[in-house]
Amino acid sequence: MHPILLEFAGISIKTYGFFIAIGFLAAIAIAVKEARRIGYDPQLVLDMAFYMILGAIIGSRLFYVFTHLSAYRDNPLDMLKIWEGGLTFFGGFILAAVACVWMAKKHGCRLWQTFDLFAPSLAVGVFFGRIGCFFAGCCYGRECTLPWAVTFTNPHSLAPLHVPLHPTQLYAAAGAALTFLVLLILKKRKSFEGQLALAWMFCYCVFRLIEELFRGDMRGDLLFNRYPASQVFAVVMLVTVIAGYPVLRRRK
């Protein structure tokens, strides 16, 4: 679509980066509002958000490099060129979760309550992130002839040009929006700590696996010589959620 939002004096502002920034700000605002609602220290939430965002950036890059090792064999220093793109959600989620656990333990917070607090923010962050992907042309879908197919024509786009494709980025954004609504409804009926976090993980994994059916981009080296790493991690996370739900429910 429009990979470059603004250009002036030889400097370009990428649309993807703009929406990622909006996503981070919106996610933080929602987390702070939720903190005030449940009596959580808003300043502590801001501190947590800082380390979680830092972890998300580092983790998403490390995961991308790990799943694209073949692309860096000849030029290993290119692994450090994060400004050229190459971020993966699952890596960012894992390291952000580690940062959240560390901060919660450090300040004596209840871990699953903290996870629940950030769950709606994650849904909002994914929504804006996928909108950014749509404008950049990354995470594109397979070729199709559906009425809602999208054809990219901008030469700076990362998607194949002049070919009708599944708008998988918008599929993912719609899934994130629906997940956010589910969490808002579930929040009023929450019966145990961790319920919102597990609900977010369940919804994300289900929507991600559906999205994977229509993806047409290269998602890195295959695991088990057959499956993209994103599919494998989504299945593993989904199984973990299904197994963990009754355990947390009994511990309420």
Q: Give the residue among 88, 160, 95, 157 at the shortest CA–CA distance from 126.
A: 88
Quick check: pTM over 0.75? yes
pLDDT at 197: 95
Structure tokens at 28: 């933080």
Judged by average pLDDT, the poorest of 23-27, 66-70, 116-120, 212-216 is 66-70
Q: What is the distance between the alpha carbons of residues 58 and 65, in angstroms, rounded to a whole number?
A: 11
C-alpha neighbours within 13 Å on the C-beta side of residue 225: 0
Model confidence at 225, in pLDDT bands (50, 70, 90)? low
- For the stretch 169-218, pLDDT in tens is 999 999 999 999 999 999 988 989 999 999 999 999 999 999 999 998 87
pLDDT in tens, 144-160: 999 999 999 999 888 99
| Domain ranges for the chain | 4-139+152-250
